[in-house]
Amino acid sequence: MSKFFKITGITLGVVLLVAICFALYVNIDGIPNYKPGNINMKVEVTPERVAKGQKIASMLCIECHKNSDGVLTGKYLDELPKEFGVINSKNITNDPEIGIGSWTDGELYYLLRTGIAKDGHYIPPYMVKFPLAADEDIKSVIAFLRSNEKCVQANGEEPIASSPSFLVKMLSHIAWKPLPLSEKEIPMPDTNNVVAHGKYLFTAMYGCFMCHSKDFKTMNVLEPEKSEGFCGGGNHMQDKEGKEVITANVTFDETGIAKYTEDEFVQVVKFGKKRNGEMVRYPMFPHSQLTDVEVKAMFAYLKTIPKIKNQIKM
C-alpha cells in the first residue's frame, strides 16, 4: 500500500512540476508567433472599393481603433473582460513606422483572414477575422486602409503597449489558434439569391451569429451553422458599465423574433429600435450603414434556419 502511495505521490509530483514549468514557459513566451504569410497581392484602390471598405470598417474596425479625434491610431479597449489584462488596439494609419504604411497588401490580407500579423505575431480572437468573407470584400477593406480618408492618413501617434494577462497567454497556447487560409478565392454571394446573400452577411461578413449563438466558447467560426445554439441567443455579455446583457434569440421561434415584421427588423438592426419600443443595449449597436436590401436579406435567411426555444430574460 505504501508503495502505491509513493508511486502515486511521485507521479503527481511530476505532473505538477510539468504543469508549473508549462505555466512559467507560457508566461515568459507570451502570445505565440507563427510563420508570417507570403501572399503576393496588389489591391487596386478604386473609389468603389474605398466606399465599400469604409462602410465595412465603420461597423467592424473603426470603433476599436479610433482615438478621441476619430483617427485610427489605436486605443485602450475598455469593453473587453478585465480578465484579459490591459489590451490596446494599434495604430493602423498609413504611418510607415508606427502604423501599417509599410505592410504589403498581402500581409494585410493574411492578417484579416488568419490573425497572423506581418511579423508573425498572433492576434487573439478579440479582434475580428474573416476566414469566410469574399476576397472582394477583404480587398475593399484594404483599399480603404490605403485610401486618403482622413482617419487612415499617416499619423505617428504611438499606441500604448498592451499587457495581456496570463489567461490570454495560456488560451493563445492551448485554445485559440490562427484561422486557416482558404485555398480557393472566395466569391461574392449571388445577391439575386436573397437567402444566400443574407446568410453571407449574417455569418461570413458581419459575424452577427457570434454574439447571437449560445456561447463564444462553442461557436464554430469556420462552419457558423454548427455553432451550439445557432442564433438562439443566450450569450452572456456586458454593457459599458459592466452590467450583464444577454444576447437576443434571433430565430423565428415564439421566444425569438417570430413577431417581427420585415420593417420592424430593419428598424432594430439599422436604428436599434426594438419591436417593443425599447432601444437595444450595448454591445448591440445600430448598423445604420447597411442597406435595407441587406437587412431584409438577413431577415429572409433567419426565416430559413431552425427555430430554437430559448426565452431570454432581458
* Total Cβ atoms within 10 A of residue 126: 16
Helix 135-146 to helix 105-114 angle (10° resolution) is 130
Q: Is 236 in the site for ligand HEC (CB under 6 A)?
A: no
**Which of these segments, 41-49, 115-123, 149-157, 168-176, binds ligand HEC (CB under 6 A)?**
115-123
Evaluate whether 20 touches 166 at the Cβ level (below 8 Å). no
Q: Is 305 in the site for ligand HEC (CB under 6 A)?
A: no
How many whole angstroms separate alpha carbon 295 and alpha carbon 136? 20
Closer to ligand HEC by CB, 185 or 244: give it: 244
Q: Is 151 in the site for ligand HEC (CB under 6 A)?
A: no
How many whole angstroms separate alpha carbon 223 and alpha carbon 232? 16
Q: Binder to ligand HEC among 90, 113, 146, 199 (CB under 6 A)?
A: 90
Q: Is 205 in the site for ligand HEC (CB under 6 A)?
A: no
Please name which of 31, 164, 146 lies closest in space to residue 93, comparing C-alpha atoms.
146
Q: Binder to ligand HEC among 237, 255, 267, 270 (CB under 6 A)?
A: 237
* Total Cβ atoms within 10 A of residue 235: 21
Q: Is 138 in the site for ligand HEC (CB under 6 A)?
A: no
Burial of 4 (0-12, 13-18, 19+ CB in 10 A): exposed
Q: Binder to ligand HEC among 274, 286, 303, 307 (CB under 6 A)?
A: 274
Q: Is 155 in the site for ligand HEC (CB under 6 A)?
A: no
Among all chains, which residue has been given the C-alpha cell 450603414?
A: 289
How many whole angstroms separate alpha carbon 81 and alpha carbon 284? 16
Q: Binder to ligand HEC among 43, 45, 50, 111 (CB under 6 A)?
A: 111
Contact set with ligand HEC (CB under 6 A): 57, 60-61, 64-65, 77, 87, 89-90, 92, 100, 108, 111, 117, 121, 123, 126-128, 141, 162, 206-208, 211-212, 237, 245, 247-248, 250, 257, 265, 268-269, 274-275, 280-281, 283-284, 287, 298, 314
